[in-house]
Chain A
Protein backbone atom coordinates (compact mmCIF):
# COMPACT_ATOMS: atom_id res chain seq x y z
CA UNK A 1 0.00 0.00 0.00
CA UNK A 2 1.27 3.37 -0.85
CA UNK A 3 -0.08 5.08 2.22
CA UNK A 4 1.98 2.88 4.50
CA UNK A 5 2.71 5.08 7.46
CA UNK A 6 4.47 3.77 10.52
CA UNK A 7 1.25 3.93 12.41
CA UNK A 8 -0.58 2.05 9.69
CA UNK A 9 2.04 -0.63 9.46
CA UNK A 10 2.06 -1.03 13.19
CA UNK A 11 -1.71 -0.88 13.35
CA UNK A 12 -1.79 -3.78 10.92
CA UNK A 13 0.45 -5.71 13.30
CA UNK A 14 -1.85 -4.76 16.10
CA UNK A 15 -4.80 -6.18 14.24
CA UNK A 16 -3.00 -9.47 13.87
CA UNK A 17 -1.59 -9.52 17.38
CA UNK A 18 -3.01 -7.54 20.20
CA UNK A 19 -6.57 -7.34 18.92
CA UNK A 20 -6.66 -11.10 19.03
CA UNK A 21 -5.77 -10.84 22.70
CA UNK A 22 -8.56 -8.40 23.49
CA UNK A 23 -11.14 -10.02 25.71
CA UNK A 24 -14.14 -11.05 23.68
CA UNK A 25 -15.91 -8.04 25.11
CA UNK A 26 -19.50 -7.48 24.13
CA UNK A 27 -19.59 -5.64 20.83
CA UNK A 28 -21.70 -2.91 22.42
CA UNK A 29 -18.98 -1.92 24.89
CA UNK A 30 -16.49 -1.77 22.01
CA UNK A 31 -18.92 0.41 20.11
CA UNK A 32 -19.33 2.67 23.17
CA UNK A 33 -15.57 3.01 23.53
CA UNK A 34 -15.21 3.90 19.87
CA UNK A 35 -18.03 6.43 20.15
CA UNK A 36 -16.13 7.97 23.08
CA UNK A 37 -12.97 8.11 20.96
CA UNK A 38 -14.81 9.92 18.16
CA UNK A 39 -16.28 12.42 20.62
CA UNK A 40 -12.79 13.19 21.90
CA UNK A 41 -11.69 14.00 18.35
CA UNK A 42 -14.72 16.05 17.37
CA UNK A 43 -13.36 19.26 18.88
CA UNK A 44 -10.38 20.48 16.94
CA UNK A 45 -11.08 18.98 13.51
CA UNK A 46 -8.01 19.53 11.31
CA UNK A 47 -10.44 20.08 8.40
CA UNK A 48 -10.50 23.66 9.75
CA UNK A 49 -6.97 24.04 8.34
CA UNK A 50 -8.36 23.34 4.84
CA UNK A 51 -11.30 25.70 5.44
CA UNK A 52 -8.87 28.53 6.25
CA UNK A 53 -6.78 27.80 3.18
CA UNK A 54 -9.86 27.53 0.97
CA UNK A 55 -11.22 30.86 2.11
CA UNK A 56 -7.88 32.44 1.27
CA UNK A 57 -7.85 30.74 -2.16
CA UNK A 58 -11.41 31.86 -2.92
CA UNK A 59 -10.39 35.51 -2.56
CA UNK A 60 -6.92 35.27 -4.03
CA UNK A 61 -6.16 36.59 -7.53
CA UNK A 62 -4.66 33.62 -9.37
CA UNK A 63 -4.30 31.81 -12.68
CA UNK A 64 -3.51 32.95 -16.23
CA UNK A 65 -6.38 35.48 -16.12
CA UNK A 66 -5.31 36.97 -12.78
CA UNK A 67 -8.72 36.68 -11.22
CA UNK A 68 -10.22 35.47 -7.96
CA UNK A 69 -13.11 33.06 -7.53
CA UNK A 70 -15.22 35.78 -5.93
CA UNK A 71 -17.56 35.96 -8.97
CA UNK A 72 -17.99 32.20 -9.20
CA UNK A 73 -21.65 31.20 -9.43
CA UNK A 74 -22.26 28.09 -7.34
CA UNK A 75 -25.98 28.17 -8.09
CA UNK A 76 -27.17 30.98 -5.85
CA UNK A 77 -25.73 33.75 -7.98
CA UNK A 78 -22.20 35.05 -8.60
CA UNK A 79 -20.12 35.10 -5.43
CA UNK A 80 -22.80 33.62 -3.14
CA UNK A 81 -21.18 30.87 -1.07
CA UNK A 82 -23.55 30.59 1.88
CA UNK A 83 -26.15 27.89 1.29
CA UNK A 84 -24.70 26.79 -2.06
CA UNK A 85 -23.26 23.50 -0.79
CA UNK A 86 -26.59 22.04 0.37
CA UNK A 87 -28.16 22.62 -3.08
CA UNK A 88 -25.48 20.85 -5.11
CA UNK A 89 -25.34 19.07 -7.50
CA UNK A 90 -27.76 21.18 -9.60
CA UNK A 91 -28.37 22.25 -13.21
CA UNK A 92 -26.38 25.22 -14.58
CA UNK A 93 -27.66 26.94 -17.70
CA UNK A 94 -24.28 28.35 -18.78
CA UNK A 95 -22.78 24.86 -19.09
CA UNK A 96 -26.15 23.23 -19.85
CA UNK A 97 -25.50 20.35 -17.47
CA UNK A 98 -25.90 19.18 -13.90
CA UNK A 99 -22.73 19.81 -11.88
CA UNK A 100 -21.55 18.94 -8.41
CA UNK A 101 -19.45 21.33 -6.35
CA UNK A 102 -16.15 20.05 -7.69
CA UNK A 103 -17.30 20.07 -11.31
CA UNK A 104 -18.54 23.63 -10.81
CA UNK A 105 -15.30 24.79 -9.19
CA UNK A 106 -13.47 23.42 -12.26
CA UNK A 107 -15.76 25.50 -14.50
CA UNK A 108 -15.08 28.67 -12.49
CA UNK A 109 -11.34 28.03 -12.40
CA UNK A 110 -11.40 27.72 -16.18
CA UNK A 111 -13.76 30.56 -17.11
CA UNK A 112 -12.73 33.07 -14.43
CA UNK A 113 -9.09 32.24 -13.75
CA UNK A 114 -8.04 30.64 -17.04
CA UNK A 115 -6.92 27.28 -15.70
CA UNK A 116 -7.22 24.22 -17.95
CA UNK A 117 -10.08 22.30 -16.32
CA UNK A 118 -9.29 19.01 -18.07
CA UNK A 119 -5.73 19.12 -16.81
CA UNK A 120 -6.78 19.95 -13.26
CA UNK A 121 -9.29 17.06 -13.36
CA UNK A 122 -6.48 14.67 -14.34
CA UNK A 123 -4.22 15.78 -11.48
CA UNK A 124 -4.05 13.17 -8.67
CA UNK A 125 -5.92 13.90 -5.44
CA UNK A 126 -3.96 15.99 -2.98
CA UNK A 127 -1.62 17.51 -5.59
CA UNK A 128 -1.34 20.86 -7.30
CA UNK A 129 -4.58 22.54 -8.31
CA UNK A 130 -6.54 19.43 -7.24
CA UNK A 131 -5.35 20.07 -3.69
CA UNK A 132 -6.53 23.66 -4.05
CA UNK A 133 -9.98 22.43 -5.09
CA UNK A 134 -10.04 20.31 -1.93
CA UNK A 135 -9.44 23.39 0.20
CA UNK A 136 -12.09 25.34 -1.73
CA UNK A 137 -14.55 22.48 -1.19
CA UNK A 138 -13.85 22.54 2.58
CA UNK A 139 -14.46 26.28 2.65
CA UNK A 140 -17.66 26.20 0.57
CA UNK A 141 -19.04 23.30 2.64
CA UNK A 142 -18.22 25.06 5.91
CA UNK A 143 -20.39 28.00 4.81
CA UNK A 144 -23.45 25.72 4.78
CA UNK A 145 -22.83 23.98 8.07
CA UNK A 146 -26.02 23.02 9.94
CA UNK A 147 -28.15 23.89 6.90
CA UNK A 148 -30.54 21.28 5.51
CA UNK A 149 -29.86 19.61 2.16
CA UNK A 150 -32.33 20.88 -0.39
CA UNK A 151 -31.24 19.86 -3.88
CA UNK A 152 -33.43 21.26 -6.65
CA UNK A 153 -35.31 18.79 -8.87
CA UNK A 154 -37.15 21.28 -11.07
CA UNK A 155 -35.03 20.97 -14.22
CA UNK A 156 -35.62 17.79 -16.29
CA UNK A 157 -31.87 17.11 -16.33
CA UNK A 158 -31.82 17.14 -12.53
CA UNK A 159 -34.56 14.49 -12.50
CA UNK A 160 -32.68 12.48 -15.12
CA UNK A 161 -29.55 12.55 -13.00
CA UNK A 162 -31.54 11.38 -9.96
CA UNK A 163 -33.07 8.47 -11.88
CA UNK A 164 -29.81 7.42 -13.52
CA UNK A 165 -27.90 7.90 -10.25
CA UNK A 166 -30.29 5.53 -8.53
CA UNK A 167 -29.70 2.90 -11.20
CA UNK A 168 -25.92 3.41 -11.07
CA UNK A 169 -26.06 2.92 -7.30
CA UNK A 170 -27.36 -0.61 -7.89
CA UNK A 171 -25.11 -1.37 -10.90
CA UNK A 172 -23.13 -4.54 -10.25
CA UNK A 173 -19.86 -5.27 -11.95
CA UNK A 174 -16.25 -6.27 -11.57
CA UNK A 175 -14.73 -9.56 -10.37
CA UNK A 176 -16.50 -9.28 -6.97
CA UNK A 177 -20.02 -8.49 -8.36
CA UNK A 178 -20.16 -5.39 -6.15
CA UNK A 179 -22.37 -2.32 -6.48
CA UNK A 180 -22.69 0.65 -4.12
CA UNK A 181 -25.74 -1.18 -2.78
CA UNK A 182 -23.65 -4.21 -1.73
CA UNK A 183 -22.53 -2.27 1.33
CA UNK A 184 -24.98 0.63 1.55
CA UNK A 185 -28.55 -0.59 1.05
CA UNK A 186 -29.43 -2.15 4.44
CA UNK A 187 -29.69 -0.78 7.95
CA UNK A 188 -27.32 -1.64 10.77
CA UNK A 189 -24.56 -3.30 8.74
CA UNK A 190 -20.83 -3.05 9.36
CA UNK A 191 -17.71 -3.72 7.32
CA UNK A 192 -15.20 -4.86 9.91
CA UNK A 193 -15.99 -2.48 12.80
CA UNK A 194 -17.00 0.36 10.52
CA UNK A 195 -20.71 1.23 10.48
CA UNK A 196 -22.17 1.43 6.98
CA UNK A 197 -24.89 4.01 6.37
CA UNK A 198 -27.93 2.81 4.42
CA UNK A 199 -27.69 5.37 1.64
CA UNK A 200 -31.12 4.51 0.25
CA UNK A 201 -32.78 6.14 3.29
CA UNK A 202 -32.98 9.82 4.20
CA UNK A 203 -31.21 9.23 7.51
CA UNK A 204 -28.43 7.13 5.99
CA UNK A 205 -27.85 9.41 3.03
CA UNK A 206 -27.79 12.36 5.44
CA UNK A 207 -25.10 10.64 7.53
CA UNK A 208 -23.15 9.36 4.53
CA UNK A 209 -23.43 11.94 1.77
CA UNK A 210 -23.89 14.67 4.37
CA UNK A 211 -20.50 14.35 6.03
CA UNK A 212 -18.17 14.76 3.03
CA UNK A 213 -15.80 16.57 2.62
CA UNK A 214 -14.15 15.17 5.73
CA UNK A 215 -10.75 14.99 7.37
CA UNK A 216 -9.58 11.39 7.53
CA UNK A 217 -7.48 10.67 10.59
CA UNK A 218 -6.16 7.48 8.96
CA UNK A 219 -4.13 9.41 6.41
CA UNK A 220 -4.28 13.07 7.46
CA UNK A 221 -5.98 14.04 4.20
CA UNK A 222 -9.11 15.98 3.44
CA UNK A 223 -11.35 13.86 1.24
CA UNK A 224 -14.00 15.42 -0.96
CA UNK A 225 -17.11 13.58 -2.20
CA UNK A 226 -15.33 12.90 -5.51
CA UNK A 227 -12.41 11.35 -3.63
CA UNK A 228 -14.80 9.31 -1.47
CA UNK A 229 -16.66 7.95 -4.53
CA UNK A 230 -13.37 7.29 -6.29
CA UNK A 231 -12.14 5.13 -3.43
CA UNK A 232 -15.50 3.34 -3.15
CA UNK A 233 -15.15 2.31 -6.79
CA UNK A 234 -11.54 1.27 -6.19
CA UNK A 235 -12.73 -1.02 -3.40
CA UNK A 236 -15.58 -2.25 -5.58
CA UNK A 237 -12.79 -3.38 -7.92
CA UNK A 238 -14.18 -1.17 -10.70
CA UNK A 239 -12.11 0.83 -13.19
CA UNK A 240 -11.26 4.44 -12.36
CA UNK A 241 -14.20 6.90 -12.36
CA UNK A 242 -13.14 10.10 -14.12
CA UNK A 243 -13.15 13.18 -11.89
CA UNK A 244 -16.51 14.98 -12.02
CA UNK A 245 -17.80 12.45 -14.60
CA UNK A 246 -21.53 11.88 -15.21
CA UNK A 247 -21.61 8.75 -13.02
CA UNK A 248 -20.14 10.58 -10.04
CA UNK A 249 -22.44 13.58 -10.45
CA UNK A 250 -25.51 11.33 -10.92
CA UNK A 251 -24.65 9.47 -7.71
CA UNK A 252 -24.29 12.84 -5.97
CA UNK A 253 -27.78 13.85 -7.13
CA UNK A 254 -29.32 10.52 -6.05
CA UNK A 255 -27.68 10.65 -2.62
CA UNK A 256 -28.23 14.38 -2.11
CA UNK A 257 -31.92 14.24 -3.05
CA UNK A 258 -32.35 11.17 -0.81
CA UNK A 259 -30.70 13.14 2.02
CA UNK A 260 -33.12 16.08 1.66
CA UNK A 261 -33.83 17.72 5.02
CA UNK A 262 -30.76 16.28 6.73
CA UNK A 263 -28.38 18.88 8.14
CA UNK A 264 -24.89 19.15 6.73
CA UNK A 265 -22.07 18.53 9.20
CA UNK A 266 -19.36 18.89 6.54
CA UNK A 267 -16.46 19.17 6.71
CA UNK A 268 -16.60 16.32 9.20
CA UNK A 269 -13.91 14.16 10.77
CA UNK A 270 -13.68 10.49 9.85
CA UNK A 271 -11.71 7.45 10.81
Chain B
Protein backbone atom coordinates (compact mmCIF):
# COMPACT_ATOMS: atom_id res chain seq x y z
CA UNK B 1 0.00 0.00 0.00
CA UNK B 2 2.70 2.44 1.06
CA UNK B 3 4.85 1.39 -1.86
CA UNK B 4 2.02 1.91 -4.33
CA UNK B 5 1.33 5.30 -2.83
CA UNK B 6 4.95 6.30 -3.32
CA UNK B 7 4.85 5.11 -6.89
CA UNK B 8 1.80 7.14 -7.79
CA UNK B 9 3.37 10.21 -6.25
CA UNK B 10 6.48 9.56 -8.29
CA UNK B 11 4.35 9.19 -11.41
CA UNK B 12 2.66 12.51 -10.79
CA UNK B 13 6.02 14.12 -10.18
CA UNK B 14 7.41 12.67 -13.41
CA UNK B 15 4.34 13.80 -15.32
CA UNK B 16 4.71 17.30 -13.96
CA UNK B 17 8.36 17.32 -14.94
CA UNK B 18 7.45 16.07 -18.41
CA UNK B 19 4.92 18.84 -18.90
CA UNK B 20 7.44 21.42 -17.78
CA UNK B 21 10.15 20.13 -20.10
CA UNK B 22 7.72 19.50 -22.95
CA UNK B 23 8.67 15.83 -23.29
CA UNK B 24 6.50 12.89 -24.37
CA UNK B 25 4.06 11.19 -22.02
CA UNK B 26 5.63 9.64 -18.90
CA UNK B 27 6.39 5.94 -18.73
CA UNK B 28 4.15 3.76 -16.60
CA UNK B 29 5.71 2.67 -13.30
CA UNK B 30 7.41 -0.75 -13.36
CA UNK B 31 4.93 -3.58 -12.72
CA UNK B 32 4.91 -4.85 -9.14
CA UNK B 33 5.90 -8.45 -9.84
CA UNK B 34 6.04 -9.33 -6.13
CA UNK B 35 2.42 -8.43 -5.74
CA UNK B 36 1.44 -10.23 -8.93
CA UNK B 37 3.23 -13.41 -7.83
CA UNK B 38 1.54 -13.26 -4.42
CA UNK B 39 -1.84 -12.87 -6.09
CA UNK B 40 -1.20 -15.90 -8.32
CA UNK B 41 -0.27 -17.98 -5.28
CA UNK B 42 -3.69 -17.24 -3.85
CA UNK B 43 -5.71 -18.05 -6.99
CA UNK B 44 -3.83 -20.96 -8.59
CA UNK B 45 -4.28 -23.51 -5.80
CA UNK B 46 -7.19 -25.30 -4.18
CA UNK B 47 -7.50 -27.20 -0.91
CA UNK B 48 -6.97 -30.94 -1.24
CA UNK B 49 -7.08 -33.48 1.58
CA UNK B 50 -5.28 -32.08 4.61
CA UNK B 51 -3.44 -29.49 2.48
CA UNK B 52 -5.68 -26.46 2.98
CA UNK B 53 -5.29 -22.99 1.50
CA UNK B 54 -3.76 -21.62 4.72
CA UNK B 55 -0.56 -23.30 3.61
CA UNK B 56 0.07 -20.62 0.96
CA UNK B 57 -0.47 -17.94 3.61
CA UNK B 58 3.08 -17.04 4.60
CA UNK B 59 4.27 -16.28 8.11
CA UNK B 60 6.75 -13.35 8.37
CA UNK B 61 9.75 -15.68 8.21
CA UNK B 62 8.57 -17.46 5.08
CA UNK B 63 7.86 -14.10 3.49
CA UNK B 64 11.33 -12.77 4.34
CA UNK B 65 13.07 -15.93 3.05
CA UNK B 66 11.28 -16.10 -0.32
CA UNK B 67 13.77 -14.59 -2.71
CA UNK B 68 16.95 -15.57 -4.51
CA UNK B 69 19.02 -13.43 -2.18
CA UNK B 70 19.03 -13.77 1.60
CA UNK B 71 17.68 -10.83 3.62
CA UNK B 72 20.23 -8.53 5.34
CA UNK B 73 21.70 -9.56 8.69
CA UNK B 74 19.66 -6.96 10.53
CA UNK B 75 16.52 -8.79 9.39
CA UNK B 76 17.78 -12.35 9.95
CA UNK B 77 18.96 -11.51 13.49
CA UNK B 78 15.47 -10.34 14.42
CA UNK B 79 13.83 -13.36 12.80
CA UNK B 80 16.17 -15.73 14.63
CA UNK B 81 15.37 -14.10 17.97
CA UNK B 82 11.63 -14.50 17.32
CA UNK B 83 12.08 -18.15 16.35
CA UNK B 84 14.32 -18.89 19.35
CA UNK B 85 11.51 -17.73 21.61
CA UNK B 86 9.20 -20.43 20.18
CA UNK B 87 11.34 -23.34 21.36
CA UNK B 88 9.81 -25.32 24.21
CA UNK B 89 11.80 -27.92 26.13
CA UNK B 90 10.18 -31.36 26.44
CA UNK B 91 7.24 -31.24 28.88
CA UNK B 92 8.50 -34.45 30.46
CA UNK B 93 11.97 -32.97 30.94
CA UNK B 94 13.29 -36.01 29.07
CA UNK B 95 15.36 -35.17 25.95
CA UNK B 96 16.47 -38.64 24.89
CA UNK B 97 14.19 -41.43 23.62
CA UNK B 98 14.77 -44.65 21.72
CA UNK B 99 17.28 -44.57 18.83
CA UNK B 100 15.64 -47.56 17.11
CA UNK B 101 12.36 -45.68 16.75
CA UNK B 102 14.41 -42.64 15.78
CA UNK B 103 16.03 -44.57 12.95
CA UNK B 104 12.63 -45.52 11.52
CA UNK B 105 11.60 -41.87 11.68
CA UNK B 106 14.82 -40.74 10.00
CA UNK B 107 14.11 -43.15 7.13
CA UNK B 108 10.48 -42.11 6.78
CA UNK B 109 9.88 -39.33 4.24
CA UNK B 110 6.09 -39.34 4.45
CA UNK B 111 3.57 -37.06 6.08
CA UNK B 112 1.40 -33.97 5.64
CA UNK B 113 0.98 -34.15 1.86
CA UNK B 114 -2.52 -34.04 0.42
CA UNK B 115 -2.26 -37.79 -0.26
CA UNK B 116 -1.23 -38.71 3.31
CA UNK B 117 -3.87 -39.67 5.85
CA UNK B 118 -4.30 -36.69 8.21
CA UNK B 119 -4.17 -38.89 11.29
CA UNK B 120 -0.96 -40.66 10.23
CA UNK B 121 2.27 -39.63 11.98
CA UNK B 122 4.80 -37.74 9.88
CA UNK B 123 8.27 -39.07 9.25
CA UNK B 124 11.40 -37.13 10.10
CA UNK B 125 12.53 -36.97 6.45
CA UNK B 126 16.15 -36.92 7.72
CA UNK B 127 17.75 -39.17 5.08
CA UNK B 128 16.24 -37.07 2.32
CA UNK B 129 18.83 -34.39 3.11
CA UNK B 130 21.46 -35.80 5.52
CA UNK B 131 23.94 -38.62 5.77
CA UNK B 132 23.54 -40.31 9.17
CA UNK B 133 24.47 -43.98 9.76
CA UNK B 134 27.14 -45.29 7.36
CA UNK B 135 25.07 -48.38 6.62
CA UNK B 136 22.43 -46.31 4.78
CA UNK B 137 23.96 -45.34 1.44
CA UNK B 138 20.75 -43.80 0.13
CA UNK B 139 21.01 -40.35 1.68
CA UNK B 140 20.61 -36.79 0.43
CA UNK B 141 23.10 -33.94 0.51
CA UNK B 142 20.91 -30.84 0.89
CA UNK B 143 21.99 -30.65 4.55
CA UNK B 144 25.40 -31.45 6.08
CA UNK B 145 26.47 -34.98 6.99
CA UNK B 146 25.38 -35.92 10.51
CA UNK B 147 27.50 -39.07 10.60
CA UNK B 148 28.85 -39.48 14.16
CA UNK B 149 26.87 -36.41 15.20
CA UNK B 150 27.06 -37.11 18.92
CA UNK B 151 30.52 -38.69 18.92
CA UNK B 152 32.15 -35.76 17.08
CA UNK B 153 30.62 -33.38 19.59
CA UNK B 154 32.02 -35.36 22.50
CA UNK B 155 28.70 -36.64 23.79
CA UNK B 156 29.56 -39.88 25.61
CA UNK B 157 26.51 -39.87 27.81
CA UNK B 158 23.62 -37.57 26.90
CA UNK B 159 22.44 -37.67 30.53
CA UNK B 160 25.78 -36.27 31.72
CA UNK B 161 25.49 -32.60 32.82
CA UNK B 162 28.54 -31.83 30.67
CA UNK B 163 26.49 -32.73 27.60
CA UNK B 164 23.52 -30.57 28.57
CA UNK B 165 24.38 -27.62 26.32
CA UNK B 166 24.80 -29.83 23.23
CA UNK B 167 21.63 -31.79 24.07
CA UNK B 168 19.58 -28.60 24.43
CA UNK B 169 21.02 -27.07 21.25
CA UNK B 170 20.18 -30.24 19.28
CA UNK B 171 16.64 -30.21 20.67
CA UNK B 172 16.30 -26.59 19.62
CA UNK B 173 17.62 -27.32 16.14
CA UNK B 174 15.05 -30.09 15.62
CA UNK B 175 12.29 -28.00 17.21
CA UNK B 176 12.94 -24.85 15.20
CA UNK B 177 16.01 -24.80 12.95
CA UNK B 178 15.25 -21.21 11.98
CA UNK B 179 16.27 -20.04 15.45
CA UNK B 180 19.89 -20.63 14.45
CA UNK B 181 19.73 -19.78 10.74
CA UNK B 182 16.72 -17.75 9.67
CA UNK B 183 16.43 -19.00 6.10
CA UNK B 184 17.63 -22.59 6.72
CA UNK B 185 16.06 -25.22 4.45
CA UNK B 186 15.27 -27.41 7.46
CA UNK B 187 11.61 -27.60 8.54
CA UNK B 188 10.53 -26.35 11.98
CA UNK B 189 9.52 -29.82 13.22
CA UNK B 190 8.46 -28.86 16.73
CA UNK B 191 7.17 -25.35 16.05
CA UNK B 192 4.80 -26.47 13.27
CA UNK B 193 3.95 -29.72 15.12
CA UNK B 194 5.23 -31.88 12.29
CA UNK B 195 6.70 -34.18 14.95
CA UNK B 196 5.45 -34.73 18.49
CA UNK B 197 7.55 -34.76 21.67
CA UNK B 198 8.09 -38.53 21.64
CA UNK B 199 9.23 -38.45 18.01
CA UNK B 200 11.65 -35.61 18.73
CA UNK B 201 13.06 -37.56 21.69
CA UNK B 202 13.58 -40.62 19.49
CA UNK B 203 15.38 -38.56 16.86
CA UNK B 204 17.52 -37.02 19.61
CA UNK B 205 18.53 -40.56 20.64
CA UNK B 206 19.33 -41.48 17.04
CA UNK B 207 21.70 -38.48 16.87
CA UNK B 208 23.19 -38.54 20.37
CA UNK B 209 22.96 -42.03 21.90
CA UNK B 210 26.44 -43.60 21.80
CA UNK B 211 24.78 -46.93 20.89
CA UNK B 212 23.00 -45.43 17.86
CA UNK B 213 24.39 -46.54 14.46
CA UNK B 214 24.91 -42.84 13.71
CA UNK B 215 27.74 -42.79 16.28
CA UNK B 216 29.48 -46.03 15.22
Contacts and interface: CB of A to CB of B under 8 A. Distances in A.
Interface of A: 1-2, 15-16, 19-22, 24-25, 27, 30, 160, 163-164, 166-168, 170-179, 181-183, 185-186, 188-194, 196, 200, 233-235, 237-242, 245-248, 250
Contact of A174 (B46, B55, B129): B55
Interface string B32-51: 01101100110111111001
Given A167-B34, A239-B52, A240-B114, A172 B43 contact: no
A193 B194 contact: no
B51 A170 contact: no
B194 to A, nearest CB: 6
Nearest to A159: B31
Given A164-B36, A239-B45, A239-B55, A176 B138 contact: no
B140 A189 contact: yes
Nearest to B133: A20
A153 to B, nearest CB: 14
Contacts of B109: 192
A242 B58 CA distance: 19
A240 B142 contact: no
Contacts of B115: 1-2, 234
Interface of B: 31, 33-34, 36-37, 40-41, 43-48, 51-53, 55-58, 61-63, 65-68, 107, 109, 112-115, 127-129, 134-142, 178, 185, 187-188, 192-194
Contacts of A248: 44
Contacts of B37: 163-164, 167-168, 171, 250
A246 B33 contact: no
A192 B45 contact: no
A258 B43 CA distance: 25
A175 B112 contact: yes
Contact of A245 (B44, B63, B67, B127): B44
A104 B58 CA distance: 31
B41, B63, B188, B193: most-surrounded residue (chain A CB, <10 A): B41
Contacts of A163: 31, 33, 36-37
Contacts of A182: 142, 185
Contact of B41 (A185, A200, A247): A247
A16 B107 contact: yes
Given A1-B115, A238-B55, A246-B44, A15 B62 contact: no
7 contacts: A19-B137, A160-B31, A164-B33, A168-B40, A170-B66, A190-B139, A190-B140
Contacts of A239: 45-48, 51-53, 55-56, 114
Given A25-B137, A163-B33, A239-B51, A170 B67 contact: yes
Contacts of B194: 175-176
A239 B41 CA distance: 10
B113 to A, nearest CB: 5
Q: Taking each of A15, A173, A190, which has the highest tally of chain B beta carbons within 10 Å of its own beta carbon?
A: A173
Contacts of B185: 177-178, 182
A237 B112 contact: yes
Contact of A250 (B40, B135, B136): B40
A182 B177 CA distance: 14
Nearest to A233: B45
B137 A27 contact: yes
Contacts of A235: 113
Contacts of A237: 51, 55, 112-113
B47 A172 contact: no
B65 A172 contact: yes
A176 B137 contact: no
A235 B44 CA distance: 17
A192 B55 contact: no
Max count, chain B CB within 10 A of own CB: residue among A22, A168, A186:
A168
Given A167-B33, A171-B37, A241-B44, A188 B113 contact: no
Contact of B107 (A15, A194, A234): A15
Nearest to A21: B135
User: Which 7 residue pairs across A and B have the least CB separation, nearest first?
Assistant: A247-B44, A240-B48, A245-B44, A167-B37, A176-B187, A172-B62, A163-B33
B138 A15 contact: yes
B48 to A, nearest CB: 4
Contacts of B187: 175-178
Contacts of A194: 140
